[in-house]
Structure 1
Amino acid sequence: MKWTETPVGDTHPVSTTPDLGSELAEDLNEVVARRAVLCLTGPDAEFVMQTLDVSVTALDKPPALWVQPATPADRSSLARALYAGLGLDRRRPRPGGLSATEDLIVAELHRAERLVVVPEAHKLRTCALETLYGLWAHGVGRFPLILAGHERLEHSLSQPALTSLGTSVYIWHRLSPS
């Protein structure tokens, strides 16, 4: 496990803060190479999302899949967002059962490498975060996973119900005020 804290000025846009981009880019590349989990947090969720967007866009590969479940951000809405985001809905109707849908999602994530990015992960319900962990940990072909949001996400991942996901985070990257 690795902790990175990047101090950022509250008036500096991402593009003019060179250390921020390089440190986060380094962490993103490591997570992609290891097919690991990165948790990116900060006190300003909007700034975290802007920073993440710039950094992920700069990556050469793999293609990013941005997952934003509808409210309520539960297991079912997460599965719908992943199913549609992976383009599975264009190939076949979504199965009636949630487990069957999740099996197809896992198979697709193992078939074609993707960087799964979950912005505003602090808004997800515990069951949705547990589902993300289950999809990530399923089988041997893990995928790189980025959980991003307000620093409340760190607290959420320390809850007993999310111990498995919290302890699986390979890199914790916090954007902190300078």
Structure 2
Amino acid sequence: MSDPPARRSLPEVVDMVVRHRAVACVRGAGADTAADALYAVFMSRPGAGGVVRLRLPEPGDRPALADALYEALELPEPRPRRQADAERAIADSLRSRPRTVVLERAHELRTIALQVLYGLWAHQVPDHFPLLLAGDDRLDTVLRRPALAGLHSYMLLWHSLPPAD
């Protein structure tokens, strides 16, 4: 019988996602545990710029996603009133200067917001951008929703943080 595959460390997960401009899910015991751990990895590296930190306000819907991305990417104000125009500006920004997007508390988002984020990653930004979904164990259930099958199928890695002592 062979040994089980070695468990990847969080820095290894981050390296793979950034190198391949892929999508990964990082889960922690608490709602903020995974995001905090991801930021610790990014901040421990020289030149850790290029990370977009997203935490959507309630209700975690499509307009909240556009507002948060528009602000985090430091796009020119005022934000376009039409949702499609704002999403186009966001996609243009990510195409011209890819950054790693870390979505905090992804388990709290509405399905439509996750669908839009997946659409940006998969279709509107042809070379993709690194995308890390951070949350607690509820994220597994959220990503198994039928409407998120596309996002689920592109998940490069699923990483669970060890419980805190």
Fold shared per TM-score above 0.5: yes
Q: Separation in 2 of the partners of 1:176 and 1:160?
A: 28
The alignment-based identity, stated in percent, is 39
1:141 aligns with 2:120: no
Q: Which structure carries more strand by proportion?
A: 1
Deviations 1:28-70 (A, max 9, x none): 0110011000100122223223212211222445510001111
Report the TM-score when normalising by structure 1.
0.82
**Higher-helix-fraction structure:** 1
Which residue, out of 148, 161, 165, partners 1:175? 161
* TM-score for both structures, normalised by structure 2: 0.88
Cα distance change on mapping 1:35 and 1:128 into 2, 3 Å: same
Contact 2:33 2:135 in 1 (8 A): no
C-alpha distance 4-127 of structure 1, shift in aligned 2 (>3 A):
farther
Structure 1 gap segments, 5+ residues each: 7-22
1:159 maps to a residue whose letter is: R
Letter paired with 1:96:
R
- Verify: 1:160 aligned to 2:122, yes or no: no
Partner residue, 1:150:
136
Report the equivalent of 1:19: none
Question: Which sections of structure 2, spanning at least 5 residues, go unmatched?
Answer: none
Alignment of 1:55-94 (within 5 A): 55-59=41-45, 60-61=47-48, 63-88=50-75, 91-94=76-79
In the TM superposition, 1:1-178 aligns within 5 A as: 23-59=9-45, 60-61=47-48, 63-88=50-75, 91-139=76-124, 140-177=126-163
